[in-house]
Amino acid sequence: MKNELKGKVHRFGDNISTDLICPGKYFHLRSNIPELAKHTLEDADKDFIKKMEPGDFVVAAENFGCGSSREHAPIIIKESGVSAILAKSFARIFFRNAINIGLPVMECDTDNLSEGDELLIKPAEGLIKNITSGEEIKAAPLMAEMLDILNAGGLKEYVMKNK
């Protein structure tokens, strides 16, 4: 995991489901991640993939990633170049999946983060600096076990090293 992440905010609301992130109509593309990633968050914002640049952040409100257990949801967000997801709360399986594939997820107050804001984030410390507004936000700390998995690059890598 990188010590510092820098990018722009892409704003989403409450209850962004895994069906909005990774629609079932592309189920057959699950074995072709680069192709599937072209549809990341398509049903929540059809222009997301066109607008986003590598390193940018997905920022949402409550219950991000609710619904199915499909790990392809965080996988294609990561594949599309997003460096971290910030939300007021996450659905349980999505949160775990994101950590397991090495994508930082941060639970924090996102009310004052607006579309296009430039952020500097230190994920291990849970620090978020909004360069555009000057405000600093603190994220809920990750469990030690989760930080270990993120630092290894994901659960598979962690298990191969440790078990």
Partner 1 sequence: MEQNITEKIISAHAGKDVRAGDVVFVDVDWALVQDGTGPLTMDVINEMDKGVDMPSKKCIFLDHASPSSKFELSDSHNKLRENADKYGMDLNEVGYGICHQVMAEEKVSPGQLVVGADSHTCTAGAFGAFASGFGSTDIAVAMATGQIWIKVPSAIKVELTGKFTGTASAKDFILYLIGKLSAMGATYKTLEFTGEGVRNLSMESRLTICNMVIEAGAKNGIMEADDKTAEYIKHERPQQKKDYKIYKSDAGAEYEKELTINLSEITPQAALPHSVDNVKPVSEIDKKIDIDQAFIGTCTGGRMEDLRAAAEVVKGRKIKKGVRLIVTPASARIYKRAMKEGLLEIFMSAGAVIGTPGCGPCVGIQGGILGTGEKCVSTANRNFKGRMGCSDSYIYLASPATVAASALEGNITAAGEEK
Site map (CB under 8 A) of partner 1, residues 68-87, x = contact: xxxxx---------------
**Is residue 93 close enough to count as binding partner 1 by CB under 8 A?**
yes
Q: Which of 23, 57, 80, 121 binds partner 1 (CB under 8 A)?
A: 23
**41 exposure class (CB count in 10 Å sphere: 0-12, 13-18, 19+):** buried
Total of chain residues touching partner 1, rule CB under 8 A: 40
Residue ranges of E strands in 92-140: 105-107, 118-122, 127-130, 136-138
| Three-state SS at 137 | strand
Write out the residues near partner 1 by the rule CB under 8 A.
15, 17, 19-20, 23-25, 27-32, 42-43, 62-63, 66-72, 89, 91-93, 96-97, 100-101, 143, 145, 154-156, 159-160, 163
